[in-house]
Structure 1
Amino acid sequence: MRTHGKRLAFAALVVSTLSLSMAASAADKPTIKIGYVDGWDDSVATSNVAALIIEKELGYPVQLVPVAAGIMWQGVARGDLDATLSAWLPVTHADYYKKFGADVKDLGANFNDAKIGLIVPESADVTSVADLEGKKAEFGGRIVGIDAGAGVMRKTDDAIKAYGLSYTLMPSSGAAMTAELARAEAAKKPIIVTGWKPHWIFAKYKLKFLDDPKKIFGESEHVDNVVGLGLEKKAPDVVAFLKKFQWKPGQIDSVMLATQGGEKPAAAAADWIKAHQSEVDGWTK
């Protein structure tokens, strides 16, 4: 009995020691800083899901840092941020990649078939950016934009010049743009907004991109996971995960719609992970 008791005590000691060792190991792991654009619903959804996976599955503390797109790229290049999962390439963030590409590493796409451009209600009597000048009165000569420095805004400025449009591009924010779109949809009024896909507005409203025969907005894009050059040494398992992390068609929509409906981004991310645990395991193990 004494021998059996000693064995139990020894086993308990081993388990206790291992638990303390694992806790200490997790506590010693560095914080992973991920930059995202707060006004971009896809950026919020992707960053929150990835952050929760890195925390819960890989054991690293994560800090999500809301920044403008240009600061996001600069932060990763300088090492102030470890990663961004919101790099729109090859067109939208082409200028940023040209400037900072040598100081970052692109791990591949988390979302394929992304797109930017001008968006109107599906019922609008216009199909191409080239036709907008003749519809100026119908749309009030204005295009509702987002943040002034965003890639889609710079491309819209280029499109206005290339197509000879006498429209005013109205800068605002992602949230202000969607609010104005909602008001126009409720009143059944025509509206033009700068937009992108993936976005929850396509799940909620009947919308369409305007054709862009001059290809000012580019072709289909992809949203990539871009990391600082030091992350491989700092957290190799995080880099390994980010190389695998990729949305399947339609998956991100549920996360974006949940947050749009009032759920906290972290809670929406947790719900998605719970419903897709086997997929998460494939990314992390």
Structure 2
Amino acid sequence: MRNLKKLCLQGLGIAALAAGMSSAFAADKPELKIGYVNGWDDSVAVSHVAAEILQTKLGYPVKLQAVEPAIMWQGVARGDLDVTLSAWLPATHGEYFEKLKDKVVVLGTNYDGAKIGLIVPDYVKAKTIEDLNTYSKDFDGKITGIDAGAGVMRRTEEAIKEYQLSEMKLMPSSGPAMATALTRAEKDKEAIVVTGWIPHWMFAKWNLRFLEDPKKVFGDDEHVDTVANPGLEAKAPDASAFLTNISWRGEEVGAVMLAIREGAKPEQAAKDWIAKNPERVAQWLE
């Protein structure tokens, strides 16, 4: 019995030591702050997936902060935020980048082929932005927008001037409010035009298209980049390497966005996707 008791005590001691070492390991890792755009589904998805990997695979405590785009860029530049995976370049966040490019580091592109513009259901008659004047009554003279000050909103204001959309007015709301309005319109097959972007879960749910923009007010296709504070490399080199590597396709980010849209909490949607895609995650951690 003594030997058994001794073995048990030794076992407990080893377990306690292991737990202590694990705690010490975690304690040695600095907290990383990730900024993402409040209300942008793709931003929520990629940020939560990255945070989950940083926490469970690399041992970093992570704090996610939902902010407006301008605050997000300023936060990364100042070091209040370590990184964002939600930098839309070269157009949408181009103004922020030009002002702060000497104070941030672009680690890489995590999504290629992104696009912003004015979006309509496929059953709508309008084909181009200029057509909005012709069919203004179908839309009740309004463009359903998102948050005032967002890049796509500023571009839409420019489009109203460039295309002389005297019959149309831009109505600010939010990402979720825009999606709700689109849901209602789709249900009754009513005409609606919204400010939007891809990647977005709504393209997986409905047949949508961008209104043609021959004047290129909204620019060409973009890319979503991972942008960090210059101090991240020294602060967390393995985290910086992972964040440089992370990139995914539309169907991958779309799967996470749809899961969240259908009721899963962002943290759980991220965990589920990571569990189903171990090879992809392993590539990012190489």
Interval containing the TM-score (normalised by the shorter chain):
over 0.9
Show CA shifts across 1:36-77 (max 9, x none): 112000000000000000000000000000100000000000
Q: Which residue of 2 aligns with 1:141?
A: 141
**Secondary structure of 1:149 counterpart:** coil
Corresponding residue for residue 62 of structure 2 = 62
Alpha-carbon distance between aligned partners in 2 of 1:275 and 1:11, rounded to the nearest angstrom: 34
Q: Please provide the CA RMSD for this pair.
A: 1.9
Deviation at 1:138, TM superposition (A): 1.5
**Partner amino acid for 2:137?**
A
- The one-letter code sitting in structure 1 at the alignment partner of 2:98 is K
* Contact kept? 1:36, 1:43, Cα under 8 Å: yes
Match of 2:24 in 1: 24
Look up the match of 1:3: none
- Secondary structure at the aligned position of 1:30 is classed as coil
List alignment gaps of at least 5 residues for structure 2.
1-5
Q: How does 1:1-285 map to 2 (within 5 A)?
A: 17=17, 20-166=20-166, 167-285=168-286
Q: How far 1:237 moved relative to its partner?
A: 0.6
Distance 1:263 1:15 in 2: 35
> What SS does the corresponding residue of 1:250 show, helix, strand or coil?
helix
By how many angstroms is 1:249 displaced? 3.5
The answer as to whether partners of 1:58 and 1:284 remain within 8 angstroms in 2 is no
CA contact (8 A) 2:146 2:178 kept: yes
Which AA in structure 2 matches 1:142?
K
C-alpha distance in 1 between matches for 2:58 and 2:231: 18
Aligned residue identity for 2:129? V
**Matches of 1:85 and 1:208, distance apart in 2:** 25
User: Which residue identity does 2:90 align to in structure 1?
Assistant: P
Q: Provide the C-alpha distance between the structure 2 equivalents of 1:109 and 1:159, rounded to a whole number of angstroms.
A: 27
User: Aligned partners of 1:49, 1:23: CA distance in 2, in Å?
Assistant: 23
Distance in 2 between residues matched to 1:256 and 1:143, nearest whole Å: 24
Cα deviation, residue 28, structure 1: 2.0
Residues 199 and 250 in structure 2, CA contact (< 8 A), matched pair in contact too: no
Q: Partners of 1:258 and 1:155 in 2: how far apart?
A: 30
Distance 2:185 2:207 in 1: 12
Per the TM alignment, residue 17 of structure 1 is displaced from its structure 2 partner at its CA by: 4.4
Q: Verify the 8 A CA contact 1:35 1:65 in the aligned structure 2.
A: yes
**8 Å Cα contact 1:106-1:225 kept in structure 2:** yes
Gaps of 5+ in 1: 1-5
Aligned identity (percent) is 54
Which SS does the other structure have where 1:164 is aligned? coil
- CA deviation string 1:185-206 (max 9, x = no partner): 1111000000000000011111
Q: How far apart, CA to CA, are the structure 2 residues paired with 1:12 and 1:137?
A: 75
Q: Aligned AA for 1:253?
A: G
**TM-score normalised by structure 1 residue count:** 0.94
- Structure 2 CA distance for aligned equivalents of residues 22 and 188 of structure 1: 56
Contact kept, 8 Å, 2:88 with 2:223, in 1: the verdict is yes
- Residue 108 of structure 1 aligns with an amino acid whose one-letter code is G
CA distance in structure 1 between the partners assigned to 2:43 and 2:99 by the alignment? 21
Aligned-residue offset at 1:15: 7.6
| Separation (CA, whole Å) in 2 of partners of 1:71 and 1:249 | 27
Supply the AA of the counterpart residue of 1:264: K
Please report how far the alpha carbon of residue 98 of structure 1 lies from its aligned counterpart in structure 2 after TM superposition: 0.7
SS of residue paired to 2:39? coil
**CA separation of 1:123/1:20 partners in 2, compared to 1, >3 Å: closer, same or farther?**
same
